[in-house]
Amino acid sequence: MPLLELHNLKKYFATQKAVDDISLSIEKGSIFGLLGPNGAGKTTLIRMITGIFYPDEGQIVFDGKKFDPIKDVGQIGYMPEERGLYKKMKIGEQTLYLAQLKGLSRSDATKKIKEWFIRFEMESWWNKKVEDLSKGMSQKLQFVTTVLHEPKLIILDEPFSGLDPVNSNLIKEEIYRLAQQGATVIFSTHRMEQVEEICNNIVLVNKGKKILDGTVKAVKQDFKENLFSIGANQLPEGLNGQAPFEIVGSRNQAFVVRIREGNRPNDVLQYLLQQGTEIHSFNEILPSLNDIFIKLVEGTPAARQFQTINS
């Protein structure tokens, strides 16, 4: 059952169709990647989901009911890309304040903060101020304030920027754990390798429109170019049109071949075995999300152009 459904959402600004008719659906407990180049409309889309903006048109269905920003906001945890905390406020008080704004009672919030601080080894931070923290430390604190109220939907915009590998892993583990406990995570980033690692489903938006939607696996299958890598000392010479494949290049001391239309991988192996080629390895090369991303948004001007909207 989907936790969040967007139906034909639209949001136009004076000079931009920031979000132009996007529909999507996010399953409960999934980790969902929201991808797109700079200025594609991701932030606007997220701001509508978090109730900061009202959509011009379209509907948001949250947990089976029409989204009510005032009521449902307590079920959402949002860590924006442009994040920050009150510099002069004590960390404990600040976390408590943000949790209470999300609707937790004072005692509940205190209990939960203590648990999280122990989990993240931040117990000694309670009476420190945010200005005493390093960038990575305040990032961890920001993550805690985002998930503290146990939201059903967690939206993280570039959560790993500025974190070292150890702390990145810590946060990653927490994301997995929260998803396992039933939270749904929307994960917005440009870092494709992280998306491949973490997300089940992705959506790619560009110029305010959805241009790709599916599981990571399916997307990769859709964009595969029938490329295989063959580890062999020597491929038979003088390949002609009879061979079921052609050599495209080489990578990591292996040959990269493309299977010709109408052939299957087994045909390739059979052909090579017949030729007496010694094979060490045979792998399918699936495109990385990075390749797909670049392929899809290529040709889009690097900066979004201003346009006139007649509405």
Partner 1 sequence: MNKIPLIIKREYLTRVRKRTFIISTLLFPLLYLALIFGTGYIAEKSKTELHVAVIDSSGTGYFSRAAFEKQNAIDASSVLTLVTDNADSVKAGYKQYGYDGYIVIPPIKWDSPVTDQLFFNANKSYGTGSTSGVETKLNRIWDEVKYENLQLDSTKRSILNNSRLSVRSINLDDKKANAEIAQGIGYACGFLIYFILLIYGSQVMMGVMEEKTNRIAEVIVSSVRPFQMMVGKILGIGLVALTQFLLWIAFVFIIYNVGKFSGSGNGGAATMIVGNIQNMFSSINLPLILFCFAFYFLAGFFFYASLYGAIGSAVNEDMREAQSLSFPITMLVIISIALMSSAIANPTSPIAVWASIIPFSSPIVMMARIPYGVPGTVPWWQLGLSMTFLVLGFIFTTWFAGKIYRTGILMYGKKPTWKELIKWAFRKN
Q: Which of 69/231 has CB closer to partner 1?
A: 69
> Could you tell me the smallest distance in angstroms from the CB atom of residue 91 to partner 1?
13
- Phi, psi of 50, rounded to the nearest 5 degrees: -90, 0
Burial class (CB in 10 A: 0-12, 13-18, 19+), 95: buried
Q: Which of 32/78 has CB closer to partner 1?
A: 78
Q: Which of 66/88 has CB closer to partner 1?
A: 88
Q: CA–CA separation, 294 vs 296, rounded Å?
A: 5
Q: Which of 118/309 has CB closer to partner 1?
A: 309
Which among 244, 158, 186, 171 is positioned nearest to 27, based on CA atoms?
186
Residue matched to tokens 């379209």: 58
> Could you tell me the smallest distance in angstroms from the CB atom of residue 90 to partner 1?
10
> Could you tell me the smallest distance in angstroms from the CB atom of residue 142 to partner 1?
8
Q: CA–CA separation, 175 vs 198, rounded Å?
A: 9
Q: Which of 12/245 has CB closer to partner 1?
A: 12
CB 159 within 8 A of CB 143: yes
> Could you tell me the smallest distance in angstroms from the CB atom of residue 267 to partner 1?
55
HEC profile for 259-311? ECCCCCHHHHHHHHHHCCCCEEEEEEECCCHHHHHHHHHCCCCCCCCCCCCCC
Nearest 5°: the CA angle 71, 141, 76 is: 20
Give contact residues for partner 1 (rule: CB under 8 A).
47, 50-52, 54, 56, 69-70, 73-74, 76, 78-80, 82-89, 97-98, 100-103, 142, 145
> Could you tell me the smallest distance in angstroms from the CB atom of residue 115 to partner 1?
21
> Could you tell me the smallest distance in angstroms from the CB atom of residue 93 to partner 1?
8
Classify residue 145 as left (phi > 0), alpha (psi -120 to 50) or beta: alpha
Q: Which of 116/245 has CB closer to partner 1?
A: 116
